């Protein structure tokens, strides 16, 4: 049996042992120094790097305020949705999962891969504003690095009927048009926040700071009556289609308060899906100007009566149906001979209106135009409101003073025109207009005397009776007062021969006006273009339903309407 081999014992020289010990001690000293350096002098940098990897500040979105009509009916509301996002550096996905998530989100697989290809990015949206149910299906795929973010999507229950007033929001829930834009700050509120630590799987493992609670946006109550808005939209759409017009607009005011109860435009668009809307977003009742035509004769008559030079029965010679001013000749549609001031309005005589205007001082007439609101914004607080135009009286030539008396050479918005008629509904007092519901009746501005206002209102009643230009504006059971207007459209080279604007402005019931409505039909091309034919019927249809809807007492018997087919309409002068 062999003897065991004795173990080999290696003894290091003393100097080598000491060297090894020194090196180990130096290593520990280096590590200690590095630790002190990192934790003392380089602490902030490391904390920032750590925070960048695991700390997150989560935004808690605020809910946008509602927009309602005057009775609380919803016009705009936010509904919760989810946005699907991903952190490309954390995403672990196979081809099968890519196809599934692409199909759910309505994307192509290549588009999903393109969003996820850059692993240096920490945030990328895969699809925004996804319904919660669909978002749930996406999360059930359990793809690491794919998350949800709560957002809100705007919904407009009235759709295209209130589109020009309410407007719409963009993908980030910021107002783009209408009141969504005008009152964006008030509606938006303030987002909240929450600082947390997340692990690599995206799970929250610790809250670092208390929640900053989001402040929801404030609600906005418009002056609009949704029922009347629907009526006006329906009837205006019918007229634009029937008369093959380019566009149309209508405004309904509360005669006592100046609140806008309806404001509609055609063509319109769907704010729930605002695509291909170029040229359709203009609120023509506020942003577009036109020559008011014979609706302006009412203001001319008021100025003439207020001057003291005329009474309603003052006679004016309009024969032979035309008159010359310099090189220009002004015509009536039909020669009438001697007419009273009331008949000038009823028959819509250009010659009669011109003779009244030329007998007044230019500055006096300009002051009336100015006080009644022409040439100045209504300050209704809506984006893009036009000013309109009234030339300075110092530059007027006789022909300009003459043509302005019947609505040529002056431009107004439909809202300005409707507001002007509040003077004749409120004893000579001009009311301010509002698209927001008012808590109390505002004090107006006295423009003419109550006597003048009543006399003009009586003249306007004659316009819708036999012998007037607006038989089609009559309303069963109610007295109506109003005025038609028809003008040639202005083009690049002056007035266009075969293009017209037909309008009507009126109030009812005439005994104690409750509603004022202005209607404008732009470029009707069916062969009919007079305001009494294309615009007055819209007024009649809307007023008939709106007055009964508001339970306004009748001021006329139910047999007050004269069928227009039995009585010839008087064609107004253009």
Given a contact cutoff of 8 angstroms between Cβ atoms, the answer to whether 412 and 388 are in contact is yes
Q: Could you tell me which residues come within 8 angstroms of residue 175 by beta carbon, excluding any fewer than 6 positions away?
A: 167, 168, 169, 181, 182, 183, 184, 187
Assess whether 330 and 467 both reside in one domain.
Answer: yes
**Looking at per-residue confidence, does 548 or 19 come out higher?**
548
Q: What is the pLDDT of residues 320-330, one digit of tens each?
A: 999 999 889 99
Q: What is the pLDDT of residues 25-81, one digit of tens each?
A: 888 888 887 777 667 666 666 566 555 555 656 566 678 899 999 999 999 998 888
Q: How far apart are the first and last CA of the chain?
A: 140
Question: How many C-beta atoms surround the C-beta of residue 397 within 10 A?
Answer: 12
Q: Retrieve residue 433's tokens.
A: 């207009």
Residue found by looking up tokens 């149906």 in the block: 321
Q: Retrieve residue 444's tokens.
A: 């107006």
Average pLDDT over residues 137-155: 84
What confidence tier does 244 reach under pLDDT thresholds 50, 70, 90? very high
Read off the CATH number of the domain in which 77 is found: 3.90.1310.10
**Looking at per-residue confidence, does 22 or 546 come out higher?**
546
Question: How many C-beta atoms surround the C-beta of residue 194 within 10 A?
Answer: 18
> Coil, strand or helix: which one is 267?
coil
Characterise 17 by phi-psi region: left (phi > 0), alpha (psi -120 to 50), beta (else): alpha
Q: Could you tell me which residues come within 8 angstroms of residue 556 by beta carbon, excluding any fewer than 6 positions away?
A: 477, 478, 479, 509
Q: Can you list the positions of beta strands (E) in 269-365? A: 315-317, 322-325, 328-331, 338-340
Given a contact cutoff of 8 angstroms between Cβ atoms, the answer to whether 165 and 224 are in contact is yes
End position of a domain, from candidates 182, 198, 221: 221
Give CA 428 to chain center in angstroms.
30
Question: How many C-beta atoms surround the C-beta of residue 311 within 10 A?
Answer: 13
Assess whether 169 and 290 both reside in one domain.
Answer: no
Assess whether 520 and 396 both reside in one domain.
Answer: yes
Assess whether 517 and 491 both reside in one domain.
Answer: yes
Average pLDDT over residues 150-160: 90
534 is a domain residue: yes
**pLDDT value, residue 65:** 92
Given a contact cutoff of 8 angstroms between Cβ atoms, the answer to whether 449 and 328 are in contact is no
Q: Retrieve residue 26's tokens.
A: 């130096």
Q: Retrieve residue 104's tokens.
A: 């759910």
pTM: 0.83
Q: What is the pLDDT of residues 280-300, one digit of tens each?
A: 899 999 999 999 999 999 999
Catalytic residues: 294
**Looking at per-residue confidence, does 427 or 39 come out higher?**
427
Average pLDDT over residues 373-397: 92
Assess whether 241 and 93 both reside in one domain.
Answer: no
Q: What is the pLDDT of residues 480-491, one digit of tens each?
A: 999 999 999 987
Least confident of 69-78, 94-103, 262-271, 414-423: 94-103
What confidence tier does 201 reach under pLDDT thresholds 50, 70, 90? low
Q: What is the pLDDT of residues 316-357, one digit of tens each?
A: 999 999 999 988 999 998 888 999 999 999 999 999 999 999
Average pLDDT, the chain: 87
Q: How far apart are CA 203 and CA 196, in angstroms?
A: 10
β-strand pairing of 67-68 with 220-221: parallel
Distances (CA, A) of 153 to 31, 94, 132, 156, 177: 56, 31, 12, 10, 16
560 is a domain residue: no
Assess whether 210 and 325 both reside in one domain.
Answer: no
The total domain count for the chain is 2
Q: Retrieve residue 355's tokens.
A: 């003779």
**pLDDT value, residue 492:** 77
Domain containing 532 equals 226-270+282-549
């Amino acid at each position: 049996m062999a003897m065991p081999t004795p173990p080999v014992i290696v003894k290091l020289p003393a100097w080598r042992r000491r060297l090894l010990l020194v090196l180990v001690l130096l290593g520990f000293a280096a590590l200690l120094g590095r630790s002190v350096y990192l934790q003392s002098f380089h602490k902030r940098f490391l904390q920032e790097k750590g925070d960048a990897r695991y700390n997150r500040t989560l935004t808690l979105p605020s809910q946008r305020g509602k927009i309602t009509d005057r009775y609380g009916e919803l016009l705009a509301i936010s509904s919760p949705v989810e946005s699907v996002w991903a952190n490309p550096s954390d995403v672990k996905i196979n081809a099968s999962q890519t196809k599934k998530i692409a199909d759910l989100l309505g994307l192509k697989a290549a588009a999903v891969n393109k969003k996820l290809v850059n692993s240096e990015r920490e945030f990328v949206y895969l699809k925004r504003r996804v319904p919660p149910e669909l978002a749930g299906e996406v999360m059930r795929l359990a793809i690491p690095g794919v998350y949800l973010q709560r957002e809100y999507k705007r919904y407009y229950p009235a759709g295209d009927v209130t589109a020009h007033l309410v407007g719409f929001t963009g993908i980030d829930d910021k107002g783009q048009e209408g009141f969504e834009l005008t009152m964006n700050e008030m509606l938006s509120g303030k987002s909240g926040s929450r600082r947390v630590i997340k692990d690599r799987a995206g799970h929250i493992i610790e809250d670092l700071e208390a929640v900053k609670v989001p402040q929801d946006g404030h609600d906005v109550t418009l002056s609009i009556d949704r029922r009347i808005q629907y009526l006006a939209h329906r009837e205006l759409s019918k007229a634009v289609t029937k008369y093959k017009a380019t566009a149309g607009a209508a405004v309904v005011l509360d005669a006592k308060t100046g609140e806008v109860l309806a404001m509609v435009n055609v063509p319109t668009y769907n704010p729930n899906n605002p695509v291909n809307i170029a040229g359709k977003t203009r609120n023509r009742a506020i942003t577009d100007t036109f020559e008011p035509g014979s609706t302006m004769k009412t203001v001319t008559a008021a100025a003439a009566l207020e001057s003291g030079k005329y009474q309603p029965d003052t006679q004016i010679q309009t024969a032979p149906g035309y008159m010359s001013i310099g090189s220009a000749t002004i015509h009536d549609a039909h020669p009438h001979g001697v007419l009273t001031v009331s008949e000038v309005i009823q028959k819509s005589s250009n010659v009669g209106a011109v003779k009244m205007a030329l007998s007044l001082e230019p500055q006096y007439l300009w002051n009336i135009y100015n006080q009644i609101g022409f040439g100045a914004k209504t300050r209704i607080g809506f984006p893009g409101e036009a000013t309109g135009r009234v030339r300075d009286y110092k530059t007027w030539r006789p022909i300009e003073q003459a043509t302005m008396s019947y609505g040529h050479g002056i431009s107004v918005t439909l809202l300005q025109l409707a507001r002007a008629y509040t003077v004749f509904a409120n004893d000579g007092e001009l009311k301010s207009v509002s698209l927001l519901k008012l808590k109390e009746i505002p004090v107006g501005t006295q423009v003419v005397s109550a006597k003048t206002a009543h006399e003009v209102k009586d003249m306007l009643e004659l316009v819708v009776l036999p012998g007037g230009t607006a038989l089609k504006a009559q309303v069963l059971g109610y007295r109506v007062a109003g005025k038609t207007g028809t003008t040639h459209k202005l083009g690049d080279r002056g007035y266009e021969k075969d293009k017209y604007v037909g309008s009507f402005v009126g109030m009812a019931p005439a005994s104690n006006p409750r509603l004022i409505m202005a209607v404008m039909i732009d470029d009707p091309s069916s062969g009919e273009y007079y305001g009494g034919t294309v615009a007055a019927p819209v007024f009649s249809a809307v007023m008939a339903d709106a007055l009964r809807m508001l339970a306004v007492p009748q001021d006329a018997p139910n047999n007050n309407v004269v069928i227009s087919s039995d009585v010839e309409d008087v064609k107004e002068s253009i």
